[in-house]
């Protein structure tokens, strides 16, 4: 057990070194106008343009001298939406289509788009993206700036900000956001969830054959189901990595993806093993370990949120289960 704890500590330290380099808080715009909560914080906005005369608008408030940092990508090889920045103190006056209104006193910049960029690999979602544009400058005046994406009927990813940080709620909800991103990519939700659902269904059948009657308590079943959900979520990440790799080819950053997939799978295996040996009269030490599994599930995006919830619930189910009110059974009966 000490080696397992040491491995998790190493994994956590590794994660704190990786996350500040590449991760963005994911977001799906709720409409054509999106208020960016913090212009400095790194967000990735997964949007869609449905018409050539349509524009998506992102509003950012900055103080004079604050850094404006933008990048635009698309998962579609033939797409190259346009990107523009409007705001106070901008001296340029690039012409924009008539359906884009330029506020009085604002300047406008059309950011050059690279239509020849090859696909790059995004390790956290994971997916293949074609990077089209990047831009950075200091805000010339304090006020509200507008970032406009327009020009193509396509999907796009707009990254704003530069500070790679997550609140606890944002971190925990990343798996749910990623499911939304898969739908944005055009993947059927049932197909996306298949590795998790398949792992749980097959795992439950296997567990019913392996678990002794004395171990088949509600708590053990919940822990086992959570463990299989963890395993399935790791398999899901690996399958998405393979799909993206068919476009980009193998790249070094896939090691980050493998890391985030391997930890849930390892946790799931440990949880299932624990469920097989979990006595009806489990101790507080058993309960503490199960709660730890649940917390680590949230940390490592395992089990699509429901897995960690089930694991923690398993820790609080009263001892006894099917044999409540009776003497604990032994495997011999």
Provide the domain limits for residue 49: 25-165
- C-alpha to C-alpha distance for 101 and 103, rounded to whole angstroms: 6
Q: Are residues 40 and 119 in the same domain?
A: yes
Q: Residue 1 domain-assigned? A: no
Last residue of a domain, one of 135, 165, 195: 165
Q: Residue 20: which pLDDT band, with cuts at 50, 70 and 90?
A: very low
Q: Residue range 67-86: average pLDDT? A: 95
Give pLDDT, residue 331: 43
What is the percent of the chain with per-residue pLDDT over 90, rounded to a whole number? 73
Please, are residues 220 and 275 in contact by the beta-carbon 8 Å criterion? yes
Maximum distance among all Cα pairs of the chain, rounded to whole angstroms: 84
Q: Are residues 42 and 179 in the same domain?
A: no
Q: Are residues 213 and 151 in the same domain?
A: no
Residue 95 sits in a domain of what CATH number? 2.60.120.380
Q: Are residues 137 and 191 in the same domain?
A: no
Q: Are residues 150 and 210 in the same domain?
A: no
Q: Residue 2 domain-assigned? A: no
Q: How many domains does the chain have?
A: 2
Q: Are residues 89 and 156 in the same domain?
A: yes
Q: Residue 6 domain-assigned? A: no
What is the percent of the chain with per-residue pLDDT over 70, rounded to a whole number? 88
Q: Residue 253 domain-assigned? A: yes
More confident residue, 230 or 256: 230
Contacts of 118-122 with C-beta under 8 Å, sequence gap 24+, read 119/77, 119/247, 119/248, 120/73, 120/248, 120/251, 121/244, 121/245, 121/248, 121/251, 121/253, 121/254, 122/244
Last residue of a domain, one of 104, 131, 165: 165
Highest mean pLDDT among 23-27, 76-80, 176-180, 199-203: 199-203
Whether the pLDDT of residue 2 is over 60: the answer is no
Q: Residue 8 domain-assigned? A: no
Q: Are residues 31 and 135 in the same domain?
A: yes
Give pLDDT, residue 330: 44
Tell me the per-residue pLDDT of 314-327, one tens digit each, with 9 for 90 and over: 999 886 544 444 44
Q: Are residues 210 and 155 in the same domain?
A: no
Q: Are residues 211 and 254 in the same domain?
A: yes
Give pLDDT, residue 25: 87
Whether the pLDDT of residue 243 is over 80: the answer is yes
Give pLDDT, residue 142: 97
Tell me the per-residue pLDDT of 211-227, one tens digit each, with 9 for 90 and over: 876 567 889 999 999 99
Whether the pLDDT of residue 9 is over 80: the answer is no
Give pLDDT, residue 319: 66
Tokens of 88: 């106070």
Q: The pTM is what?
A: 0.86
On the 0-12 / 13-18 / 19+ scale of CB atoms within 10 A, 219 is buried
Q: Are residues 158 and 281 in the same domain?
A: no
Q: Are residues 133 and 221 in the same domain?
A: no
Which residues partner with 157 through β-bridges? 46, 73
């Amino acid at each position: 057990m000490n080696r397992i704890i040491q491995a998790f500590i190493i994994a956590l330290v590794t994660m704190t070194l990786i996350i500040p380099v590449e991760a963005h808080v994911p977001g799906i715009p709720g409409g054509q106008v999106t208020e960016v909560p913090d212009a400095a914080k790194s967000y990735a906005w997964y949007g869609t343009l449905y018409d050539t005369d349509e524009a998506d608008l992102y509003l950012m408030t900055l103080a004079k001298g604050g850094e404006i940092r933008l990048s635009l990508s698309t998962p579609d090889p033939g797409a190259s939406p346009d990107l523009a920045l409007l705001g106070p103190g901008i001296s340029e006056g690039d012409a924009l289509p008539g359906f884009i209104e330029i506020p009085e006193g604002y300047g406008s910049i059309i950011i050059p788009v690279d239509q020849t960029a090859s696909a790059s690999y995004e390790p956290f979602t994971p997916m293949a993206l074609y990077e089209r544009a990047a831009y950075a400058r200091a805000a010339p005046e304090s006020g509200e700036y507008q970032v406009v994406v327009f020009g193509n009927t396509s999907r796009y990813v707009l990254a704003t900000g530069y500070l790679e940080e997550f609140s606890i709620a944002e971190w925990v909800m990343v798996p749910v956001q990623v499911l939304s991103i898969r739908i944005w990519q055009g993947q059927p939700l049932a197909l996306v969830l298949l590795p998790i659902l398949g792992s749980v269904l097959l795992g439950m059948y296997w567990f019913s054959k392996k678990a002794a009657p004395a171990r088949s308590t509600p708590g053990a079943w919940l822990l086992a189901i959570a463990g299989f959900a963890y395993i399935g979520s790791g398999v899901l990440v690996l399958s998405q990595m393979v799909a993206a790799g068919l476009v980009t080819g193998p790249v070094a950053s896939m090691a980050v993806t493998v890391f985030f997939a391997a930890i849930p799978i390892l946790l799931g295996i440990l949880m299932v093993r624990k469920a097989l040996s979990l006595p009806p009269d489990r101790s507080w030490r058993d309960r503490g370990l199960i709660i730890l599994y649940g917390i680590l599930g949230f940390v490592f995006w395992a089990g699509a949120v429901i897995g960690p919830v089930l694991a923690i619930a398993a820790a609080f189910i009263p001892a006894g289960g099917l044999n409540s009110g009776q003497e604990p059974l032994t495997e011999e009966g």
